[in-house]
Amino acid sequence: MIRVERLSREYGSVKAVDRLDFEIGRGEIVGFLGPNGAGKTTTMRMLTTYLPPSSGRANLAGHDVLDEPLEVRRKVGYLPENVPLYPEMRVREFLDFRAKLKDVPRSRRQAAVDGVIEQCKLKEVEDRIVGNLSKGFRQRVGLAEAMVHDPDILILDEPTAGLDPIQVREVRSLIKMLGSKHTVLLSTHIMPEVEAVCGRVIVIVHGRIALDEDLQKLKLENSIEIEIRGSAEGARKSLASAQGVTKVQELRRDGDSTTFEVQTRDGADMREFLAKRVQESGFGLRRLDRRRSTLEDRFVEAVRAATLSQAKESAEGDAKRR
Amino acid sequence: MRHVFILFKRELGAYFLGPMAYLILVCFQVIAWLNFWMLVDMMSDPTALTALSGTSDPLNRYISESMGFWIAMLVAIPALTMRLFAEERRSGTIETVLTSPVTETEIVLAKWLAAVVMYLSLLAPFYLYLPFLVYFGKYSLDYGPIVSLSLTLVTAGMMFTAIGVFFSSTTKNQIVAAIATFVTLFVLIVMLGMAHEQALAARREELAEALRYLSVLYQLHWSAAGRLDLRFLALHLSVATIALYLTSKQLRFGRDV
């Protein structure tokens, strides 16, 4: 559905987006993460044809952003970051206007507008003036606007920013539902949101991809944290020799107790087995916990690694220039 | 081009959802009424009528040489056009417009047409009073000068609004757009005429002649006397076309990042 090849965008000498490569299939919900200024909005603007790329290609629903921008726009629904709307229009009037502009045929227009009003729960405000609506409603009007022409692809720039927890939950479930029919690319800063909604995550740092992974796979990377009293060396041996354990790592030592991180094959949950083994070997078991490698950890890790490697690269570049 | 009408309707609606359009319309209505009063006053005075010859004909007194009309126009056109793009750029709605399946040309044309219609509605009050001269004053109107003045006023308005649209597309700040438009119109309407006088005083005839033809005030003056010069119309429409072309280029290449 979305295919991006070596997509780059420069602002003067600043590389906002630097040779991005990724592919998103039909029906995927992809979380687009990155620290502020990483190039998320710029990438989204290039995908929606608002900004032309400096180099590289982007193909959405079979159309190139540079060769057939109008076709791309017909296939893409876009919710920009701060949800720009016309404050003087009424909700239904605005959606109707946007539907006309997006070439929704007259015979289907009424149904399309009714549909998104229903989906985004805007019935109670459909005759109110957009400028007088609360932030939550405005966000939903923006979302309704993005999907009024039933696009194949939805590109949402921070769709839950500024909403209260209940509205966040509603918008998330709406996006999840949309994922069954549409391909969704959404940017956010909220990690639990990605875990709750997305099937895949792409992290970009300084305009480059730092991590592109299935969330399902990320979830498998679980480990067990275990705190044992007694000889650290002995305990480690005892844990490492257990069947199914792939790696034992000492995390910290506190007096006569030591905390280990134990990784198991395929992320299997071996807590009972390990507890039994520790006790049978004569050690004291003080704590046993399943440790999730959270998305947040992976995010921070990826950002750090990317920043380091890029700093190294630029240092090398400087050295070469000298 | 089918989107032009959809965008045009929204643009025209937006004018009337704020107070600006009403204020300007009332202002022009008052000016038309005052000018009409002075016109009637003058025509019913037989001694004044003899002085009306050559360039100081009634139509020029009524519209194209009226101070009130031009001062109001110099304020009204920037006020009507400053919003068109600057507001969308500031609020970010330009991003949603430019990511809909609409071309830049369609957007520019729609906004410009809305401004032209607003401009024409400012002129309407002046025409509203003319039938009274015929039916109640039993005055026989000479339709030639009215037609030639109207045509020139329309094309001049197309040029003015196109200039306003262009400046509005260059900035996020409506005030900047308004001032730039005002200055340009001031040069076209007032300064060129003054420069013509200066050139004449300095005995630079060719220059004076060129400046005279460029001055909008002179062009309208000429048309109001019943002399329709198609070169003026061509000039107005060319400037309008160039301004609109530049606006669409500005929209394509001058996007906010």
The domain ranges of chain A are: 2-218, 222-291
Contacts A70 to B, Cβ<8 Å: 101-103
Report whether pLDDT(A113) > 90.
Answer: yes
d(CA A200, CA A215): 5
* Mean of pLDDT over chain A: 87
Helix B205-214 with B216-224: angle, nearest 10 deg: 70
Q: Regarding predicted confidence, which is higher, A256 or B119?
A: B119
Contacts B98 to A, Cβ<8 Å: 49-50
pLDDT at res. A71 = 93
Report whether pLDDT(B49) > 60.
Answer: no
Contacts B6 to A, Cβ<8 Å: 97, 100-101
pLDDT at res. A130 = 93
The model's pTM is 0.85
Q: Is A132 within 8 Å of chain B by CB? A: no
CATH fold for domain A222-291: Alpha-Beta Plaits (3.30.70)
Q: What is the mean pLDDT of residues A92-105?
A: 94
Return the structure tokens found at B154. Answer: 């329309």
Q: How many domains does chain B have?
A: 1
pLDDT at res. B191 = 92
Residues A293-318: tens digit of each pLDDT: 677 777 887 888 888 887 887 777 77
Q: What is the mean pLDDT of residues A215-229?
A: 77
Q: Is A6 within 8 Å of chain B by CB? A: no
Q: How far apart, in Å, are the Cα atoms of A140 and each of A162, A163, A185, B82?
A: 12, 10, 17, 30
The residue of chain B with its CA nearest to that of A145 is B96
Q: Regarding predicted confidence, which is higher, B50 or A240?
A: A240
Q: Give percent of chain B with pLDDT exceeding 70.
A: 95
Cβ distance B255 to A42 less than 8 Å, yes or no, reads no
Q: What is the mean pLDDT of residues B54-82?
A: 82
Cβ distance B91 to A84 less than 8 Å, yes or no, reads yes
Cβ distance A73 to B257 less than 8 Å, yes or no, reads no
Q: How far apart, in Å, are the Cα atoms of B174 and each of A85, A176, A187, B85, B168?
A: 18, 41, 32, 9, 7
Residues B160-213: tens digit of each pLDDT: 999 999 999 999 999 999 999 999 999 999 999 899 999 999 988 889 989 989
Residue with tokens 């068109």: B84
Reported as a pLDDT band with limits 50, 70 and 90, residue B57 is low
Q: Is A289 within 8 Å of chain B by CB? A: no
pLDDT at res. A46 = 93
Reported as a pLDDT band with limits 50, 70 and 90, residue B233 is very high
Reported as a pLDDT band with limits 50, 70 and 90, residue A109 is very high
At position A82, the amino acid (one-letter code) is N
**DSSP class of residue A199?**
S
Q: What is the mean pLDDT of residues A108-123?
A: 92
Residue with tokens 């025509």: B43
At position B182, the amino acid (one-letter code) is F
Q: Is A59 within 8 Å of chain B by CB? A: no
CATH fold for domain A2-218: Rossmann fold (3.40.50)
At position B181, the amino acid (one-letter code) is T
Report whether pLDDT(B23) > 80.
Answer: yes
Return the structure tokens found at A143. Answer: 């979302």
Among B6, B93, B99, select the one facing A78 at the smallest CB separation. Answer: B99
Q: Is A74 within 8 Å of chain B by CB? A: yes
Contacts B17 to A, Cβ<8 Å: 88-89
Residues A37-93: tens digit of each pLDDT: 888 999 999 999 999 999 999 999 999 999 999 999 999 999 998 899 999 999 999
Structural domain range at position B239: 2-253
Cβ distance B95 to A103 less than 8 Å, yes or no, reads no
Q: Regarding predicted confidence, which is higher, A35 or A223?
A: A35
Residues A121-135: tens digit of each pLDDT: 899 999 999 999 988
pLDDT at res. A315 = 79
Return the structure tokens found at A209. Answer: 């991809």
Do β-strands A153-157 and A183-187 pair in parallel, antiparallel, or remain unpaired?
parallel
Report whether pLDDT(A291) > 80.
Answer: no
Cβ distance B257 to A82 less than 8 Å, yes or no, reads no
Reported as a pLDDT band with limits 50, 70 and 90, residue B55 is very low
Among A11, A70, A88, select the one facing B257 at the smallest CB separation. Answer: A11
C-alpha torsion sign, points B150, B155, B157, B158: positive
Cβ distance B255 to A50 less than 8 Å, yes or no, reads yes
Contacts B255 to A, Cβ<8 Å: 50-51
Cβ distance A97 to B95 less than 8 Å, yes or no, reads no
Q: Give percent of chain A with pLDDT exceeding 70.
A: 97
> A54 by DSSP, 3-state: which?
coil
Among B18, B92, B102, select the one facing A84 at the smallest CB separation. Answer: B92
Q: What is the mean pLDDT of residues B231-239?
A: 95
Contacts A50 to B, Cβ<8 Å: 95, 98-99, 255
Report whether pLDDT(A268) > 70.
Answer: yes
The complex's ipTM works out to 0.85
d(CA A300, CA A312): 18
Contacts B249 to A, Cβ<8 Å: none
Q: What is the mean pLDDT of residues B11-31?
A: 90
Contacts A15 to B, Cβ<8 Å: none
Give residue A147's region: left, alpha or beta (phi > 0; psi -120 to 50).
alpha
H or E element that contains A203: strand A200-205
- Please give the backbone phi and psi of residue A238, each rounded to the nearest 5 degrees, phi first: -60, -40
pLDDT at res. A312 = 81
